[in-house]
Structures are given as C-alpha cells and as structure tokens.
C-alpha cells in the first residue's frame, strides 16, 4: 500500500496518515508473524518513508523516481553486446552513438504505435494480460483502495 502511495504524482499526502499506515503495517507483521524478522528495506519503507514526504512538504515523491531511466538498461545491454547486438564495435564513441539512435527510434511515436497490443483472454479487454487481470484482484482491492485514499488530504 505504501508503494502505491509513493507512485502517485498528483496528490498531496497527509503525513500523519502515512506515518500511521507504516506503523500499522509493522505492528500487523509482528503480531501475525512474531517469529519472522522484518527485512531492513521493508522497515525503512514502513518506518521512514513519511520523512521523505515531510522534507517535500507533502508533495509527491514519484517525480524523483529513476524507474524510467532504469527501464532502458535492458535495451542498452541488448544493443551493446550479445545475440541482438546491432551497434558498431569499432570504438566507444561509435557504439554509444548507435545506441542513442536506436533509443530514439524506439521512442518515436509512430514506431511506438506499432508495438504489440496486450489483450486479456479472461476479460477480453486491451492493455493487460491474464496475469495482471483486475477481475482476479477484486477481493482485496477495495480495502487497499480505501487505505490508499485515506492517505491523501481532502
């Protein structure tokens, strides 16, 4: 739930509710699984993410994410070497130029429109597959939506 809140880029966050949500998640974990240790990354997310919002005055922190830049790493690795290598290997300058050209070509709007469109065979809607079909996630989605919505200021 905290991850869903951190990915929002539009709404201001209520700091107390975020802090309480993280605390409640850690208490729930300790009460439900007293024998299990909380991983440091999970502890950091639950106990300390509210401080990022505090430093940002409640504004969203998703705009500082590195996900879009990290997304290209697998493509760059494939362009650079391996079976799908499509760049010249004479020197690093030529190799880097070829990688940038391929990235620009992949991100061009007319080429991006020709990518495969996902269609779910369960609900026959476009944009997702059976694996991420929302019809299978309805049971806990309502509670999760309520928890996430309560973290924003009205």
Each residue's pLDDT tens digit, 2-58: 666 666 656 787 888 888 888 888 888 889 888 888 888 888 888 888 888 888 787
Q: Name the residue ranges covered by the structural domains of the chain.
A: 2-65+122-149, 67-112
- Among 39, 9, 37, 5, smallest CA distance to 19 is for 5
Task: Record the pTM.
Answer: 0.43
Read off the DSSP letter of residue 108: S
């Amino acid at each position: 739930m905290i991850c869903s809140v951190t990915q929002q880029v539009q709404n201001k966050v209520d700091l107390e509710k975020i802090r309480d949500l993280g605390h409640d998640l850690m208490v729930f974990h300790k009460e439900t699984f007293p024998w299990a240790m909380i991983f440091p990354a999970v502890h950091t997310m639950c106990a300390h993410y509210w401080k990022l919002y505090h430093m940002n005055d409640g504004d969203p922190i998703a705009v500082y994410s590195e996900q879009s830049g990290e997304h290209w790493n697998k493509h760059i690795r494939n362009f650079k070497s391996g079976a799908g290598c499509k760049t010249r290997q004479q020197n690093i300058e030529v190799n880097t130029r070829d990688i940038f050209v391929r990235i620009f070509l992949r991100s061009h709007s007319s080429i991006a429109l020709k990518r495969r469109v996902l269609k779910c065979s369960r609900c026959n809607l476009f944009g997702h597959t059976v694996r991420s079909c929302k019809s299978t996630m309805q049971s806990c989605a309502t509670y999760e939506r309520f928890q996430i919505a309560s973290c924003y200021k009205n």
